[in-house]
Chain A
Amino acid sequence: QGRFTLLRDTRTDGSFLVHHFLSFYLRAGCKVCFVALLQSFSHYSIVAQKLGVSLAAAKERGQLVFLEGLKSCLDLLFGEEEQPGQPSPLGFLSGSSSDLRALFDFVRLSLTPADGDSWKGPVLLVDDLSVLLSLGASPVAVLDFIHYCRVSVCYQLKGNIVVLVHSNEDSEDEENELIVNSLCHHSNLILWAEGLATGFCKDVHGQIKIIKRLSLQQAGEQDVVQIYQYKIQDRNVAFFARGLSAAVL
């Protein structure tokens, strides 16, 4: 409860973690607000089906609130004038405001429990935060958004947040690095998917570093770091200890 998990990827695509968390929380019976900025609903839906969860059904019964960033953006630009009472969550795009307040309001509204809701714990899932920078939001605005979400979702509503960001070593994208570093400091758990340092391999797609930030909870405690390697298959991901891939044994 009240945990902030950061998903981070470097030199590889960490979106399999997002798919995992989405189906995990839906199966656990939580109310999920998914801010999907990079892909369409059908993409997530098809993968979720492979993992055994139906997004359409979840949406119908009110368990899943799905913000499809691409569609929302198109509606904003090519649609009719927005109603004053219903600002678009991506309103910052049209320049009317420079902060992500509208997006935060959307999140808060969707996760505030309504009467008759019997879901366990709200969850906010974001894929992925780096896109907001590409769309013109300033790093401060993005950090503010995350901060407000944490206060609202983690502390007030006792829910969880899972956010995906991309990062690269030798990245020249300073704004992105700023956000990633800041979020790392504030996360309870960091799942860092990295491409192998030695290059591309067919049998081991990458390695994942799991960092449990115990130092946040108690002074003097060390963070626990675990490293596994993984291979992504069609319906699941196989994890194994370093060097013990099935191809080698």
Chain B
Amino acid sequence: LVFTEEDKYGLYSNLLFKYFLAEGIVCGHDLFVASAKEHPDNILKELPAPLLDDAYGKELGDEAAAAKSEDFQDSMKIAWRYQNLPKMETSPTTYTKFGHYYDLSKKMSPELCQSVKWHSFYLHEELSSEPTMKTCNMNSSYTRLLQSIQRIISQEGFDGSDPQKKQRNVLRIGIQSLGSILWGDDICCSDTPEDIHSLTKFLYVLRGLLRKSLSACIITVPAHLIQNKAIMERVTNLSDMVVGLESFIGSERETNPLYKDYHGLVHVHQIPRLNSLICDVSDTKDLAFRLKRKLFTIERLHLPPDLSDTVSRASKQDLAESAKLLSSGCGAMAIGKKHLDF
């Protein structure tokens, strides 16, 4: 269960959402798209087209290879101690291929979209039908959504209930903007919402459904609107993976020279720890994303060298603030607001 906290204007989280669905189509998985905002048909029309492997993969590989060969032979004169450290890889997946690449400037062809079976749930169309399952005091929109998901899972045999079906497939579920007012939940509007348990109950039941079947789910939530932080803590506990996107649009970071190459930060709050004592932790937790013309990349955030001639107070303070944010891990913020001097 991948839980994504939306960025303020929802631009980038939408992108991640579309990537998830597009990957599903390319892999031949079945899709289930639920939304209260846009009709799922429209969402599906907007999916990015997959790039043919050879062309782009090679381009990416060339770029990286060029950068590597350039300074491979230079030995360091002053900072020679650093010579022995491995080269910092900004984009870790240059050589390993996992998944597919997509071209954001083109839309996916309708034939490709139609090649998989997909189910949709558009809240405003479903409001007329009455839920038949026990509601357990949950928001009725959520109840309907759960019922729909459960119906698809058992009808299409994703939970292994149909032994006749030889070919087992994966169901990719995408739910957009859960918890927003459009779903009838008021946790995004008020500090003391009427029913704080609806979302968490929904997530628990969804988790049960996902564990029982061959499915994966991505949910985007406008977390910046939820006033009651206790809910976010509980939600983090109930999800396998929690990723937050923070875009720089409209914030003072947009003009910060530190971040000039990037469009936003990626905060990984939690990674799945399934079927094992340990989880696969990467070396770094400072990730940023940028939207190039064709590609949305997530890279390690590294500070550009501080080459400013004039050292103005404001920018130094800013840099130190940002550097402090970088040095603390994502799940373990340094206690207290100690100002770290560099």
Contact = CB atoms under 8 A, between A and B. Distances in A.
Contacts of B200: 134-135
Nearest to B150: A78
B237 A166 contact: yes
B181 interface: no
Interface in B175-223: 197, 200-201, 203-205, 207-209, 211-212
Interface residues of A, number: 54
B332 interface: yes
B332 A172 contact: no
A74 B281 CA distance: 32
A197 interface: yes
B283 interface: yes
A22 to B, nearest CB: 12
A67 to B, nearest CB: 13
B211 A40 contact: yes
Contacts of B237: 38, 130-131, 134, 166
Interface in B223-253: 228-230, 233-234, 237-238
Nearest to B146: A77
Interface in B287-342: 327-335
A174 B277 contact: no
A74 B208 contact: yes
A149 to B, nearest CB: 22
**Interface-central residue, A19, A50, A70, A166, by most chain B CB under 10 Å:** A70
A70 B207 contact: yes
Nearest to B273: A13
* Interface magnitude class on chain B: 35 or more
B278 A74 contact: no
B206 to A, nearest CB: 10
Contacts of A95: 136-137
A200 B330 contact: yes
B129 interface: no
A233 B276 CA distance: 10
B275 interface: yes
Contact of B234 (A42, A169, A173): A173
A71 to B, nearest CB: 7
B337 to A, nearest CB: 12
A166 B230 CA distance: 12
A195 interface: yes
Contacts of A234: 276-278
Interface in A178-226: 195-202, 205
B97 interface: no
A46 interface: yes
Nearest to A13: B273
Contact of B208 (A19, A73, A237): A73
Given A42-B275, A199-B328, A234-B277, A77 B134 contact: yes
Nearest to A201: B329
Interface of B: 133-134, 136-137, 146, 150, 197, 200-201, 203-205, 207-209, 211-212, 228-230, 233-234, 237-238, 273-279, 281, 283, 285, 327-335
Interface of A: 11-13, 15-16, 19, 38-40, 42-43, 46-47, 50, 70-71, 73-74, 76-78, 93-95, 130-131, 133-136, 166, 168-169, 171-176, 195-202, 205, 232-237
12 contacts: A39-B211, A39-B274, A46-B275, A71-B208, A73-B205, A73-B208, A74-B208, A133-B234, A134-B203, A172-B230, A199-B333, A232-B277
